[in-house]
Amino acid sequence: MANRRRVIAGNWKMFKTVSEAEDYAIKFLEEVKDVTDLDVVLCAPFTALHALKNELEESIVHLGAQNMAWGEEGAYTGEISGRMLLDVACTYVILGHSERREMFGETDQDIAKKVQQALAVGLTPIFCCGENLKLREEGKAAEWVKNQVDSALSGISKDDLKRIIVAYEPIWAIGTGKTASSNDAQEMCANIRGTLTELMGPASENVPILYGGSVKAENIGELMQEPDVDGALVGGASLDPLSFGKLIKNASPM
Of 55, 131, 169, 226, which is the active-site residue? 169
Identify which of 153, 160, 24 has the alpha carbon closest to the alpha carbon of residue 95: 153
Residue 101, CA distances (Å) to 45, 148, 171, 198, 254 in order: 18, 11, 11, 25, 37
Residue 90, CA distances (Å) to 50, 51, 77, 233 in order: 9, 12, 21, 17
Active site residue 97: yes
Residues 6+ apart with CB under 8 A from 173: 179, 180, 213, 214
Active site residue 169: yes
Identify which of 190, 253, 171 has the alpha carbon closest to the alpha carbon of residue 220: 253
DSSP symbol at 213: S
Which residues, listed in sequence order, are joined to residue 62 by a DSSP beta bridge? 41
CB 24: neighbour CB atoms within 10 A? 24
Of 97, 99, 131, 226, which is the active-site residue? 97
Catalytic residues: 97, 169
